[in-house]
Amino acid sequence: MQPLLQVTDAECRYGEKLILESVSFVLQSGEIACLLGPSGCGKTTLLHAIAGFQPLARGTIALSSDTLTDNGRMVPPEKRQIGVVFQDYALFPHLSVEQNIGFGLRGLPQQERSARVAELMALVRLTQHAEQYPHQLSGGQQQRVALARALAPRPRLLLMDEPFSNLDTELRRSLATEVRHILREEGIAALIVTHDRSEAFAAGDKLGILANGLLQQWDTPQNLYRHPANTAVARIVAEGNLLRGKWIGAGLVETALGRVAVSEGFAGDEGGIGSAVEIFARSEDLLPGEHDNAVTVQVISRSFLGNSALYTFRLPNGRTIEATLSAEYRFEPGNEIPLRLQAPLVFPG
């Protein structure tokens, strides 16, 4: 099946500065994907290149069978059949909700235009706000107006640049889920830029992890979390502690938390016995309680989080690590407790 969007060996520069290098991925029809990574990693630059606002120094971008960017040739943004939702929503302040949504439909007959606007207002649950202006709406409502306006002309692909960054944490998560539902209803594929993994996990069928100018991994959220390609990906998709260790063979690594069996898929013996490894220990990999493999650590601090608590522990080698544990544990600063590491993510050092 031909992919909807195909980006091949894309390279972006600002003058002599290299921003993105050899980025390649495909997006299928109906898929929702998120580009996730730290600020300044090139997410928005890549989105702008797909939209036609940013040239490529090298590589190609194709939408279905249409080549949009290749060898310096660029199809203008307005002819790409790609919708864009900007970070600041870019709503017209002097137009009502209804007028904003219908702005891109001025070429349609009035009856068809009105029907499409009414359909979208119902879809984004803003029918009762049709006559209101942007300044009279909440942030979440403004976001839904911007989404409806971008969907109105039925684009082949929708691009969203940090669409929830102006909203509070709880609203971001719920709106990401709601946007996913709306896109499913419309049957439109989307590529969403975000630096918030909760948003990405809630919205995306696929995630692309950008770091250091490279697309580090493109996969489902589940596979990225369970099998990150490297420590850069692991640190973006999960909270955890990066530790040093060494491969001692027989499926074991030596760490500051004792000898630990490696996670599935690690071929540490390629470097030979004694070779350095990096261990990424997530909270679920750290288990308090007596065990043959446990070591004694000291509780440095405890921060109550409701149904969990964030602890800081000092390891025998003096290193400190953090872990979020269930509120059923009641360790206090100064306590010494047994702690073990179980099946962490292990990477070549």
Residue where one domain finishes, among candidates 232, 265, 292: 232
Closest among 86, 91, 20, 87 to 49, alpha carbons compared: 20
Tell whether the model's pLDDT for residue 121 goes beyond 70: yes
Burial class (CB in 10 A: 0-12, 13-18, 19+), 63: buried
State the Rg of the chain over Cα. Answer: 24
Are 39 and 85 found together in one domain?
Answer: yes
CATH number at residue 284: 2.40.50.140
Are 184 and 249 found together in one domain?
Answer: no
Tell whether the model's pLDDT for residue 269 goes beyond 60: no
Are 169 and 304 found together in one domain?
Answer: no
Give the DSSP per-residue string, 297-313: EEEEEEEE-SSEEEEEE
pLDDT value at position 270? Answer: 59
pLDDT value at position 72? Answer: 84
The 3-state secondary structure of 22-41, one letter per residue: EEEEEECCCCEEEEECCCCC
Tell whether the model's pLDDT for residue 33 goes beyond 90: yes
Are 224 and 329 found together in one domain?
Answer: no
Are 178 and 67 found together in one domain?
Answer: yes
Percent of the chain whose predicted confidence (pLDDT) is above 90: 75
348 pLDDT band (50/70/90 cuts)?
confident
Bigger pLDDT: 49 or 274?
Answer: 49
pLDDT value at position 263? Answer: 64
| Residue ranges making up the domain that contains 165 | 5-232
- How many domains in the chain? 2
Are 223 and 267 found together in one domain?
Answer: no
Tell whether the model's pLDDT for residue 7 goes beyond 90: yes
CATH number at residue 84: 3.40.50.300
pLDDT value at position 268? Answer: 54
pLDDT value at position 343? Answer: 86
Closest among 152, 171, 146, 153 to 88, alpha carbons compared: 146
167 pLDDT band (50/70/90 cuts)?
confident
Residue where one domain finishes, among candidates 232, 259, 279: 232
Whole-number mean pLDDT of the chain?
Answer: 92
Tell whether the model's pLDDT for residue 169 goes beyond 80: no
d(CA 170, CA 211): 26
Are 252 and 202 found together in one domain?
Answer: no
Tell whether the model's pLDDT for residue 267 goes beyond 60: no
Averaged over 42-48, what is the pLDDT?
95
Are 25 and 68 found together in one domain?
Answer: yes
Tell whether the model's pLDDT for residue 271 goes beyond 70: no
pLDDT value at position 264? Answer: 62
Residue where one domain finishes, among candidates 232, 251, 281: 232
Tell whether the model's pLDDT for residue 97 goes beyond 60: yes
Are 166 and 92 found together in one domain?
Answer: yes
Are 166 and 305 found together in one domain?
Answer: no
Averaged over 182-204, what is the pLDDT?
92
Tell whether the model's pLDDT for residue 96 goes beyond 90: yes
Percent of the chain whose predicted confidence (pLDDT) is above 70: 97
Are 161 and 302 found together in one domain?
Answer: no
Residues 6+ apart with CB under 8 A from 245: 253, 254, 255, 256, 260, 276, 277, 278, 279, 346, 349
Burial class (CB in 10 A: 0-12, 13-18, 19+), 156: middle
pLDDT value at position 330? Answer: 92
Are 264 and 194 found together in one domain?
Answer: no
pLDDT 10s digits, 127-152: 999 999 999 999 889 999 999 999 99
Averaged over 101-126, what is the pLDDT?
93
Averaged over 299-327, what is the pLDDT?
95
Looking at the whole model, is its pTM more than 0.75?
Answer: yes
